[in-house]
Structure 1
Amino acid sequence: MAKLNQILAIEKGIKTRVYGEFTDLHQATQKPPLMNGFQKSYQPRDEDGETYPTESQKVQYHASEILERVAKGLAELFDITATKDYANCTARANVIVDGKSLLEDVPATYLLFLEKQLSDLHTFITKMAELDPGSDWSVDPSTGLFKTDTMSTQRTKKVQRPITLYEA
């Protein structure tokens, strides 16, 4: 029997592939010309009339073949998901950081939840604004916040001047 980590490694790929194929087949079956074929032959109206070549279009998708492909893909997806879910019922582990056990005998589903939360926390922290490295920062003891040396700059006031387009 496969280990839970092996199942988790392949589940996402299978899910992506099956959903992609399912979507493609669903879109293809919404187009009647691909599901219908025809063969047309033309007869002249009279003996001297013009003759036209026959036209035909083969059926490109058979409903039975499409349903077999969908059933095969979904069976594979259901199988891997059931295997994972049943393994999750019995899988347990300890969470150890720096040699110290923080959590013991934790269910696998909770470990997956923790993994997602830690990933989200990592994204949150890496996207936070940082202090400008071009300035010298120091901690203000009265507020506990970082500050730079005071800078003096000039600012101009916007003055609106009327523009005369035509003299009256």
Structure 2
Amino acid sequence: MATKLNQIIAIEKGTKSRSFQELTEAHQALQKPAILSGISRTYRPKDEEGEQLPPESTRVQIKAEAIIRQTIETLTKLFDVTATKDWANCQARADVVVDGTTLLAQVPATYLLFLEKQLVDLHTFIKKLPILDASEFWNFDSSTDTWASEPLQTTRTKKVPRNHVKAEATEKHPAQVEVYYEDIVVGYWRTVKFSGALPASRINELLARVEKLQEAVKFAREEANNIEVTEEKVGDKVFNYLFS
């Protein structure tokens, strides 16, 4: 049964993890002189009347050559899986199709993976774009290259003192006058707000585009990774040269 590139990609991570773990264990084992060493001691008394003592021995627990063979086996799997993936990636290509139109033709699988990651960042960037205040009505003003609100007119007032006669003057008493202030309109403000933000509709349009492209890139990557691969066997050549 033919192997697909997506199957190789699926097992690559586990193969790397196991190889690293086994290589670390092998390295640590070889740093322990005690388990690399053995000894055999026998005792012979000076004469027949002398005390008899049992022999002593310590067995060699690991052998460097055995560790090398085990390491070669472990790394050969890793080298072969990675080579199979990288060789196949040279051939794995697919079109990025949006709304029935080919936007990018015969894109390598590795670049599709790059595109996928970049589009995640672009989606975040677009979502955080500033939005025009929905409480205002906005029109694009080409003279300032910004959005402008509808003109709003407000009044400017000034307090003017007025006299209120509470009691008219008499022969015996002066008039009782109270001073108060009245707000009088003295002018008009015409206010137009400007903004460099974007309408919500524009941001939603951009989000829809990037999401559509994200979907197209994912489809293309799946298609590219669905090609059949030839299992590469490079590990034997490398390790036969290194350890033969």
TM-score (norm 1): 0.61
| 1:8-27 alignment, distance < 5 Å | 8-27=9-28
Q: Which residue number corresponds to residue 114 of structure 1?
A: 115
- Closer, same or farther: CA 57–102 of 1 in aligned 2, 3 Å: farther
Range that drifts further, 49-58 or 3-12: 49-58
Task: Specify the code of the residue in structure 2 equivalent to 1:60.
Answer: Q
Please, which runs of 5 or more residues in structure 2 have no aligned partner? 125-132, 137-192, 198-244
Give 1:114 deviation, angstroms.
Answer: 2.9
Range that drifts further, 38-47 or 13-22: 38-47
- C-alpha distance in 2 between matches for 1:62 and 1:35: 6
Superposed CA offset, 1:79-138 (max 9, x none): 11111111011110123456664432110111232344456x39x95xxxxxxxxxxxx8
Percent identity over the alignment? 52
Task: Specify the code of the residue in structure 2 equivalent to 1:27.
Answer: Q
How many residue pairs are counted as aligned between the two chains? 133
Please, which runs of 5 or more residues in structure 1 have no aligned partner? 126-137, 145-168
Q: Which residue number corresponds to residue 7 of structure 1?
A: 8
- C-alpha distance in 1 between matches for 2:63 and 2:119: 47
Query: Aligned with 2:3: secondary structure?
Result: coil
Give 1:41 deviation, angstroms.
Answer: 4.2
- C-alpha distance in 2 between matches for 1:97 and 1:77: 37
Alpha carbon RMSD of aligned pairs, Å? 3.8
Q: Which residue number corresponds to residue 66 of structure 2?
A: 65
| 1:1-168 alignment, distance < 5 Å | 1-41=2-42, 53-96=54-97, 101-117=102-118, 121=121
Superposed CA offset, 1:6-60 (max 9, x none): 1101111111111110110011001111111122345679999877654322111
- Closer, same or farther: CA 15–118 of 1 in aligned 2, 3 Å: farther
Higher relative CO (Cα under 8 Å, sequence separation at least 6) belongs to: 2
- C-alpha distance in 2 between matches for 1:66 and 1:19: 14
- C-alpha distance in 1 between matches for 2:41 and 2:134: 86
Query: Aligned with 1:78: secondary structure?
Result: helix
TM-score (norm 2): 0.44
Larger fraction in strand: 2
Task: Specify the code of the residue in structure 2 equivalent to 1:88.
Answer: N
